[in-house]
Amino acid sequence: MNTGMRRRAATTTVTLTMAGTLGFGLMTPVASAAGSGPCYDGRCKTTVSAPKTIKVNSRTFGFGKLKITHIRSHSVKMTAVTTGGAHLSGTTSPGGTITFNNLEIWVKSVTGRKAKLQLSPTSS
């Protein structure tokens, strides 16, 4: 009797854990879609050609649109306008990083007129 109750409790725990996991799995794409794109939270890897606008969370980063304005074999230029109206601009070569407020943009590589970028929030 005691062994049967332990099995039942373990089965119930596994079932509830799986239901919670599956529930979150189904809800995550909806939450991401509501955020306006895969880079909205500031965490993504993407390949872009200029001109390109990447939407990010303006409350988190102080600006809502990161604009890639020029891509050359030796440099990538990007700009943003903060919610307060300040203009941010930066240029870096492949392998370099630019930080706008608390968003770091790493230019992983450039091939032709396309750049591979990785965005990540800074710890500040």
Structural contact between residues 114 and 49, judged by C-beta atoms closer than 8 angstroms: yes
Confidence band for 2, pLDDT divided at 50, 70 and 90: low
Confidence band for 123, pLDDT divided at 50, 70 and 90: confident
| Count of other CB atoms within 10 angstroms of residue 61 | 22
- Mean pLDDT across 115-124: 91
- Tell me the pLDDT tens digit for each residue of 56-102: 999 999 999 999 999 999 999 999 999 999 999 999 999 999 999 99
List the domain boundaries for the chain. 1-34, 44-121
Contacts 24+ apart (CB under 8 A), 53-58: 54/119, 56/103, 56/119, 58/83
Return the half-sphere exposure (C-beta side, CA atoms, 13 A cut-off) of residue 109: 2
